[in-house]
Amino acid sequence: MKRFWFISNLFIAPIILASSFSFAQKMPIAYYRAEAAFNQNDFHNAIMWIDSCLLLKPIRYEFYLLKGASLLNLDYSKQALDAFYKANKIRNNIASYYIAKTYCRLNDTSKCLEWIKINLNSIYREPESKYILDNDFSILANNKEWKETWEKDWYSSLEKDINHAEYLINSKEYEKVYRSTKPKNQE
């Protein structure tokens, strides 16, 4: 009996191990290839790999976000908007920042501002510095509603400090970052 148990476990253990490894990977390998292509600015191949992912699992919002970002980088704004809306349909407001960005690219300031407010009211709220540093939002620089939008306190004081530090880092003002994060008693 013990011999049977040992032999059966000898054959069953590899099967269990193999199946557990197959469940560990959440995304298809094509998604990682799409991400790699995107990070190398190879947006056409990123779209090709994402389309293969969408054939397998058309319910993953991540696929639509990456496809939308790739399309936006290729200046296919209307198709990007379609992909972002599909992501948003799967997970509410996940693509609100990118929808706003796309509307700015399309010079639709009213829709852009509408989606900025949706983003700022969502759990996926992007930091103010991301809006300020993104050239696509520069068309709003002199817009009255844009300025009024930022008069509201959207962020906690901690979020503001973090966002300010990120802004300074992205602006390459490292000395100011150091001074703003240095404890007051270390003068």
How far the first Cα of the chain sits from its last, in Å, is: 76
Tokens found for residue 134? 């993104």
Confidence of residue 8 (pLDDT cuts 50, 70, 90): very low
pLDDT digits (tens, 9 = 90+) for 112-131: 999 999 999 999 999 888 89
Least confident range from 12-21, 37-46, 81-90, 141-150: namely 12-21
Please give the Cα distance from 46 to 42 (Å, whole number): 6
Interior/surface letters 35-54, b for 16+ CB within 10 angstroms, e for the rest: bebbeeeebeebbebbebbb
**Residues for the chain: how many in total?**
187
Helix/strand/coil (H/E/C) assignment for every residue in 127-168: CHHHHHHCHHHHHHCCCHHHHHHCCCCCCCHHHHHHHHHHHH
Position 113 scores a pLDDT of 96
Domains of the chain and any CATH numbers:
27-91 (1.25.40.10)
**Phi/psi at 58 (nearest 5 deg)?**
-75, 10
Tokens found for residue 90? 């799967």
Report pTM. 0.76
